[in-house]
Structure 1
Amino acid sequence: MSATVITGIAVAAPTGLGSDQHWKSVLDGESGIGELTRFDTSGYASRLAGQITDFDAKEHLPSRLLPQTDVSTRYALAAADWALADAAVGPDTLADYSMGVVTSSSLGGFDFTHREFRKLWSKGPEFVSVYESFAWFYAVNTGQISIRNGMRGPSAALVAEQAGGLDALGHARRTVRNGTELVLAGGVDSAFDPWGWASQLAGGRVSTEDDPATAYLPFDRRASGYVPGEGGGILIVEDADSAARRGAPQIYGEIAGYASTFDPRPGSDRPPTLRRATELALADAGLRPDDIDVVFADAAGLPELDRAEAQAITGIFGPKAVPVTAPKALTGRLYAGGGPVDVVTALLSIRDQVVPATAHTTDVPEEYGLDVVRHEARSVPVKAVLILGRGRWGFNSALVVTAPTH
C-alpha cells in the first residue's frame, strides 16, 4: 500500500497567517493571546483570547463570497487556497472526482448566525439573509472549499471539538487509502461574538486570569484553565504514488498512524482511554514508544486534566523519556482547528529538526514525570511525532506523523 503523505500546509491562527509566519512566531515565542476586542467584554469573567487581528477577508477572497460566509469559513477558504498553492494543486492538476474535502468544526458559523438572529428579533424575518440557511452549518467549510476549488471526490464534515481536527486528518487518510488521490483536510473554528463567547465560558474551563503570560499554563503548577482561540490549519493529504506522478514540489511527512477512542461515562471505575488511543496509533504506525521523538500534547491547562494526560504519556513512554511540548499556549485552544495546527507545527519540527517550547510554563510538578520543553526551542533529531487531542465529553484522538521516506 502506498504511503499517505502531506504535500501542502497552511495555518490561519493568532500566531500568523500562513505556515511561515506561524512557525516564526512559535520559535520566537511570540504569543497571539491578548484582550478580546470584537465586542465589549468588560462584564465577562474572562477577557483574553487567541484572536486573529491581521486578516482582511477582502484581500483574500472574492467579494461575492463575503456576504455568504462566517468569519470561520473565510479563514478556512483562505487557508485552503494557501495549502493548495503550497502543494502546487490547481483545477487541472487532478480530475475533480479524484479530490475530496474533509473538515472538522465544533462551533459552526456562530458570528454569522447570531448577527442574523439580531435582525430577526429587531427588524423581522424579511431582513434575515438567505445565506443563513447554510452559513451557520458545521458542514459549510467542506462545502464552500469543495465548490470554490472544484473538488468533487468523497468528502465529509466532522462535528467535534479539540480531537476533531485530528479525526478529519485520520478520515482523510482513510479516504486516500480507499482510492481518492488527494484530500484537503483540517479544521477551523471561531466564535468571538457575545453568544459564542458566553457558550465557551459556560463550560467552566476557561481561565479568568487577566495577564496573557499566566492565563494559559499547560502542565504548570499554576495552571487554572485555558484561553480560547480562533483559526486552524488546512493540509493536503495525498497518495504518495499520485504525488510522485504529478511532481508534487515537496513532501512534508507521512501520516503513519491514527486512532480515536471514547472515555467511559463519568463515575465509571474504568480508566480514561487517551493512553489506549496512543497505543493504537503507535501500533497502526508500526512504531514502538522509543521511536517517537516528541509528543505534541493536548494540554488542557487544568490540573486534573493535565495530570491525566501526564499519566497517559508516562504510562507508555516512561518518566521523562520523551520531550513534550504544547505550542498552543501561544494561540489558545482552537477547538477543531487545534489539532491541524499542531500537525503543521510538528511537520515543520521534522523539517527543521527543532522542538518548539511551551510558552510561559515554568514549574512542572515533579509527579507529572514529564520532560516539558520550556524556555526555548530544543534542537534534537525529529523523525516521528505523536500529536494528541482530547475533546469535551470523552473524545480522544492520536495521530503519528513521520519524516518522508522518499
Structure 2
Amino acid sequence: MSERQRAVVTGVGVVAPTGVGVDAHWKRVLAGESALRRITLFDPARYPTTLAGEITEFDALEWADSRRVVQTDRWTHLGFAATRLALQDAGLAEVTDDPYGVGVVLASSSGGNLFGQRELQRLWSQPSRTVGAYQSIAWFYAASVGQLSIHHQFKGPCGVLVSETAGGLDSLAQAVRMIRRGTPVVIAGGTECPLSPYALACQLRGGLLSSGTDPDGAYRPFDVAAGGYVPGEGGAVFVVEELDHARERGATIYGEVAGWGATHDAHHTDAHHTDAHHTHDRQAHDPTQYARAMALALRRAGARPDEVGLVVPDALGVPGYDLAEAQALRAVFGCSPPVTTQKPLTGRAHQGGAALDVANALLAMRHGLLPATAGTDRPAPGCELDFVREQRQQRTDLALVGARGFDGFNSAVLLRRWPESESVRTG
C-alpha cells in the first residue's frame, strides 16, 4: 500500500453514557465507573429489562439549530454532537471550503426510535389519525447521514452501513475505500439510541437482554454469571483522512486504519441460540467466520498475530456467543493478547458501541494505557482470555477491534499506533 492510499484518524468525537467528549469519557473509563442506571427516557416498569446506559444532561440545542432538532430523532442529535466534536478535535471547519472533499459514511441499525414512537402513538391514539410531516425523515435509517451532510454541507460520497454492531467497524473500512478513490476526508462511525418502548420490545423479542437490576452486575460478558446485555445509547464519530492531506495541514494523528475484514455466518440470532453446549446450537456458534474476519484484517495490514498488543471484543454477554468469540480469538492468536471491554460501563449501543470500542482502542494506544476490563470477574469455562484485570501502562502498536452483528455479521478492524513525532498539530 502506498502512503498516498493510507487512511488515518485525525479526530474523535465521543457521545456516551460515560461522558460527552473524549476527555470526560476516557476519565470515567479509566476509573471503571459504570454509567448504567434505571431507564428514564420512558417508564420501564412493565418490562423485564429496566436498566440502560443513558446520556444524561444532553441538550440537543447545543449541537444543532432548533429546526433540525425538531425534524430529527435523538440518535441523529447524538450524531450532530459527535460529528462537531470530531471536527473540532481534528482542527477542521464545520463548513469546509471544499465541500466535495468531505464524505460521510455512518452505520445505522434501528433508526429514529423515540421520534417514531411518539408519532405512531399519535397515529393510533388521536381522532386525527395522522403523523407529523417529518416522520418519514426522522425514522429513516439513513437520516443521520443525510442530515449531517446537509448541516455541514459535505457533498462528497455518502452512504450508510446496516450490519448492526458490525456496522460501526464496517464504516471505517468503507471510509478507507472512499479515501483510496479520491475523497481526502471522510466522516465515519455511528451513534444509536435504541431506548424507546418499541425499540426495547424489539430487543426483548430477541431474548438476549439482561433482566438484572443491579447496574454493577447486570452485564457480565465472558463471565460465569453472564445473562445477557444491557442496552445503551451513544457512540463515536471519526474524522478519517488521507495521510498526505493530514500531514500537509499538520494534523494530530491518533492512528491508522491498517486493516479490516468482514464475513457472514448465515445464521439467525435469537433466544434459542444462547447455549453453545447444546448440539442444535453449535452451528450457530461456529467461530470460523468471525475468526476469518480477524485474520483478514491482519492480512490486509501485513501484521502477524503476535504483534497485536490489545483486543477489544464484541462482548455480547450471552454465554454461547461469548464462548464462540473466545474460540475465535484463540483460533487467530493462539495465546490470547490482552483483552479489555468497556461495554458493561456504557451498555451495548449496537453500531455506536463498536465505534466507541474503536475510540477506546485509539485512546489506549495514544496514552500507552490499557483500561481494566469491566464486568468479567470469573471467566466462564472456555472464556479464559488474558483479560486486563487492572489498568496498566503498556505501549501498544497494534489493536484489533471485533464486532458481531445480529444475524451473522462479523467484522474486525486493525488499528496501528501513530508515532509520537507525528502526533502533535503544527498547523
TM interval, short-chain normalised: over 0.9
Residue 328 (structure 2) pairs with residue 312 (structure 1): yes
CA distance in 1, matches of 2:165, 2:259: 18
1:94-130 CA-to-partner distances (Å, cap 9, x unmatched) read: 5111100001110100110121112222235575221
* Cα distance per residue 1:304-335 (max 9 Å; x no partner): 1111110111112123x310111111111110
Deviations 1:5-41 (A, max 9, x none): 0000011111111111111110001111111112221
Query: In 2, distance between residues paired with 1:144 and 1:236?
Result: 17
Which range moves more in the overlay, 258-267 or 108-117? 258-267
Question: Across the two proteins, how many residue pairs are aligned to each other?
Answer: 403
Match of 2:272 in 1: none
1:106-185 equivalence runs, <5 A: 106-124=109-127, 127-185=130-188
380, 404, 417: which is aligned to 1:390? Answer: 404
Gaps of 5+ in 1: none
Q: Name 2:214's counterpart in structure 1.
A: 211
**Within 2, Cα distance between the matches of 1:366 and 1:199?**
30
Q: CA deviation at 1:263?
A: 0.7
Structure 1 residue 355 and structure 2 residue 370: aligned?
A: yes
Any idea what SS the aligned residue of 2:315 has? coil
Classify the secondary structure of the residue corresponding to 2:157: coil
Q: Does 1:7 align with 2:7?
A: no
Task: For residue 91 of structure 1, report the CA deviation from its aligned partner.
Answer: 5.0
Equivalent residues in 2 for 1:8-157, closer than 5 Å: 8-90=11-93, 93-124=96-127, 127-157=130-160
Partners of 1:259 and 1:212 in 2: CA distance: 34
Question: What is the rounded CA distance, in whole Å, between the counterparts of 2:215 and 2:401 in structure 1?
Answer: 25
Aligned to 2:236: 233
| Counterparts of 2:67 and 2:116, CA distance in 1 | 18
Distance in 1, matches of 2:213 and 2:96, equals 49
Q: Cα distance, 1:383 vs. partner? A: 1.2
Change (3 A) 1:165 1:57: same
Structure 2 equivalent of residue 343 of structure 1: 358
- In structure 2, list runs of 5 or more residues that go unmatched: 269-279, 423-427
The answer to whether the Cα contact below 8 Å between 2:219 and 2:228 also exists between their aligned partners in 1 is yes
Which residue is equivalent to 1:199? Answer: 202
Moved over 4 A (4+): 91-94, 124-127, 266-271
- 1:26-68 per-residue CA deviation (whole Å, 9 max, x = no partner) reads 0001111111112221111111111111201122221121210
Residue 93 of structure 1 contacts residue 246 of structure 1 at CA under 8 Å; is this kept in 2?
no
Q: How does 1:291-306 map to 2 (within 5 A)?
A: 291-306=307-322
Identity over aligned residues, as a percent?
46
Q: Is the 8 A contact 2:340 2:374 kept in 1?
A: no
CA deviations 1:252-284 (Å, max 9, x no partner) are 000000110001446659754110000000001
Structure 2 residue 280 is matched with structure 1 residue 280: no
Give 1:190 deviation, angstroms: 0.6
Partner residue of 2:416 out of 387, 393, 402: 402
Q: TM-score, normalised by structure 2?
A: 0.91
Secondary structure of 1:273's aligned partner: helix
